Chain A
Amino acid sequence: MPEMPDPVVPQLDAEAVKARNKRNLWLGLALAGFVLLVMVMTFIRLNTAAGVSERM
């Protein structure tokens, strides 16, 4: 089987890497925030539903 050539990786200078890492950090924080929000909303909805069923 012929050997596949290595993929060409674009060379980034130090400043570009730093900027990319910062963007990735913010993206990670945004995703974590989204997950947290969905978790909190699920918790509140479940609690509200439990409260309603207890009153019935």
Chain B
Amino acid sequence: MTDALLIPQKRYATAVDYLNLMKPRIMMLVVFTGFAGLVAASSMTGVSMHPVMAAIATLAVALGSGAAGAINMWYDSDIDAVMSRTSTRPIPSGAVPRDEALALGLIVSGVSVMLMWLASNWLAAALLAFSIFYYGVIYTMWLKRATSQNIVIGGGAGAFPPVIGWAAVTGNMPLDAWILFAIIFFWTPPHFWALSLLAHKEYAKVSVPMLPVTHGAKVTRTQILIYTLVLVPVSLLPLATGLGGWIYGAAALGLGAAFIAYAVRLTRSKAGGPDAEGADMKLARNTFVFSIFYLFALFGAVLVEHAAGLHFPLVGV
């Protein structure tokens, strides 16, 4: 084999590289939950927002998420280059220089907060700014490489979008908005730990103290079950406040039961352990994929109820 085959070819950055820098898949989930919060707020309070302003506020949430993603990729480019899962990202692949990634993150952060302020109000803009800081600095720079609870505390960053959406419409943050926050907050650990069961060797290689690395696979699987058992009752709270109706209730119960079933099976498996078999790892992967479906479907139920006029609450609002 010649050296030319071993050295990666120099490639020039395209717009897609810059888009990938903003973690578009995470962005989709963030936009979806933020939009659900926005629609639910309008339906619950009767306060309407100009549709164009609502669209721009949603775009601002997407840009804010992307900016935080770019800052994360800038800071983590050293470990991304070592882990095979992340080695093809724009910075380690050599397509985008680190400084450009940071510049993109900072500029888009400013633009997103400004757009949010102009489209809605200062509270939503301040929450968006704080959530970018939370992900880009608190999680990425302070927690991720320091504690095995990184994803638990850092999960707060991803939980802000529905609160931001709610604040964009009403200018305040009532209990219902924080219930939506809590759902994403308690969903994040089982979601991410299912992935880290698959990638724990990679995290160990770069000394990132993810739970399976520091406490082992068995503890991680148990923690996944515990957080799922907390998540399901939390997901039923909207029924008590009137935010969720019959459709949401049925979805939350069905999806919650399925999530618990996955978590129980995962706890009984050897996924992530040294003696894990193919079926165990497949189960961890399926749990991870299902967790994404779970959140989309749950917030989809909120959207359907409040956007399509199908909101029939179980309790008086």
Binding site for B on A (CB under 8 A): 15-16, 19-20, 22-23, 26, 34, 37-38, 40-42, 44-45, 48
Q: How far in angstroms is the closest Cβ of chain B from A55?
A: 16
- B250-302 with Cβ < 8 A to chain A: none
Binding site for A on B (CB under 8 A): 12-15, 18, 50, 52-53, 56, 59, 111, 115, 118-119
B120 nearest CB neighbor, chain A only: A41
Contacts of A38 in B (CB 8 A): 118
B111 adjacent to A44 (CB under 8 Å): no
Contacts of A48 in B (CB 8 A): 50
Q: Which of B12, B50, B56 lies in contact with A37, CB distance below 8 A?
A: B56
B12 adjacent to A41 (CB under 8 Å): no
Q: How far in angstroms is the closest Cβ of chain B from A29?
A: 9
Known A41-B56, A42-B118; further 17 A-B contacts with Cβ < 8 A: A15-B12, A16-B12, A19-B12, A19-B14, A22-B15, A23-B13, A23-B14, A23-B15, A23-B18, A26-B15, A26-B18, A37-B59, A40-B56, A41-B53, A41-B115, A41-B119, A45-B118
Contacts of A22 in B (CB 8 A): 14-15
Secondary structure of the A side of the interface? helix
Contacts of B50 in A (CB 8 A): 44, 48
A19 adjacent to B13 (CB under 8 Å): yes
Contacts of B111 in A (CB 8 A): 34
3 nearest A-B pairs in the assembled complex, by CB-CB distance: A19-B12, A26-B15, A41-B118
Q: How far in angstroms is the closest Cβ of chain A from B50?
A: 6
A44 adjacent to B53 (CB under 8 Å): yes
Contacts of A20 in B (CB 8 A): 12
Q: How far in angstroms is the closest Cβ of chain B from A49?
A: 12
Question: When chains A and B are docked, how far (Å) is the Cα of A5 from the Cα of B111?
Answer: 39
Contacts of A40 in B (CB 8 A): 52, 56
B52 adjacent to A44 (CB under 8 Å): yes
A48 nearest CB neighbor, chain B only: B50
A33 nearest CB neighbor, chain B only: B59
Question: When chains A and B are docked, how far (Å) is the Cα of A15 from the Cα of B13?
Answer: 11
